[in-house]
Amino acid sequence: MYSAKEAAEITGLSTAALRYYEREKLLPQIRRNRQKYRQYTEEDIEWIKMIQCMRMANIPIQSIKQYVSLLIQGGTTLEQRYRMVQAHMENIKKQIADLQNAFALTQSKLSFYEKLLKDPMHQNITYIDEWNLFQHGGL
Amino acid sequence: MYSAKEAAEITGLSTAALRYYEREKLLPQIRRNRQKYRQYTEEDIEWIKMIQCMRMANIPIQSIKQYVSLLIQGGTTLEQRYRMVQAHMENIKKQIADLQNAFALTQSKLSFYEKLLKDPMHQNITYIDEWNLFQHGGL
DNA sequence: TATTGACTTGAAGCACACTTCATAGTTTAT
DNA sequence: ATAAACTATGAAGTGTGCTTCAAGTCAATA
């Protein structure tokens, strides 16, 4: 059992964010002690980590909420959940592809700059110059 | 030379977004015709695609703006630009790692659901059941 | 001539994901 | 007993990245 502060420390989220997730029903109602203080269980913490993973994949709060709602409704929603997860998967793949694209572009930008830095003759090029050199593989 | 509408079609952005980028100085001042209509050149379009690539990598508008500003200032800012691009690269790597994480998790969620769907006996499990089965590799 | 349609502008509006605030109750240490 | 530290709540505020709106210009068409 973890206090709000501990849960925040473990997950790296703020206590406010944890309350927000609970309000938005991404988490089940968290157990309370006599003083109404929240008591996060190990499972709560694991589920929060799962949510963080989904958020890293840019899955919107509303989709996560919907997924959780289906999960709570149980077995008959299995196929719906399956389709949701499939859609998330496609989304993740697309994002990875975009990022790999950006990675490649950034890589070539870096080696372009490295060449420039080694060759002081070319350091005074400007906006359009750089753009053209970069575009057409000058140097 | 492309009209606002054409530039929007080519890039997939809205004309409003293109104006926004121009206002925010992500783009240079775009050339105008007699009627003050914008005329996007090929290079403008290419630069817009570059910006889209950066945005796909979640580079904030403000960082792109700063980068463009350094680019316009020219040669003496080369090292600063180099460091910026290096930082972007680290950022992209981190995002790819996060997404690959999400990918793996989603993958295992998918095969978990596939097993469940094949086995009608287990379709009535609920929230916690599913979580536990998933966690501990039941089935 | 009047309307249509593409374009212009600045300003306001919006969705998302939190964060911060104001106020108040409880526990622990001094 | 008083302060420090932690918690609670609802409501309002914030930053980002656009989008939408209101009002107007200009050129071609019916």
Express each pLDDT in B14-41 by its tens digit: 999 999 999 999 999 999 999 999 999 9
> Which bases of strand C have any atom within 7 Å of the beta carbon of a protein residue?
6-10, 16-21, 26-27
The predicted structure's pLDDT at residue B120: 73
Q: How far apart are CA B112 and CA B107, in angstroms?
A: 9
Per CB-CB distance under 8 Å, the chain A contacts of B110 are 82, 85-86, 89
Q: How far apart are CA A139 and CA B21, in angstroms?
A: 30
Residue B129 structure tokens: 């059941």
Q: Is B38 helix (H, G, I), strand (E, B) or coil?
A: strand
Chunk chain A into consecutive blocks of 10 residues (it has 139) and report each block's average pLDDT, rounded to whole numbers.
Answer: 97 97 96 96 95 96 96 85 95 97 94 88 62 56
CA distance B27 to chain A (A): 11
Residues 90-129 of A with CB under 8 A from B: 92-93, 95-96, 98-103, 105-107, 109-110, 113-114, 116-117, 123-128
Nearest CA in chain A to B59: A102
% of chain B surpassing 90 pLDDT: 76
- Sequence-distant (6+) residues with CB within 8 A of B90 are none
Mutation for testing the B interface, residue in A94, A105, A121, A123 having most B CBs under 10 Å: A105
Instruction: Output the DSSP codes for B108-120.
Output: HHHHHHHHHHH-G
**pLDDT tens digits for B95-106?**
999 999 999 999
CA distances from B35 to B3, B18, B32, B39, B120 (A): 12, 18, 8, 11, 68
pTM for the whole thing?
0.88
CB atoms within 10 A of CB B60: 10
Per CB-CB distance under 8 Å, the chain B contacts of A135 are 46
Q: Name residue, tokens 């090929």.
A: B42
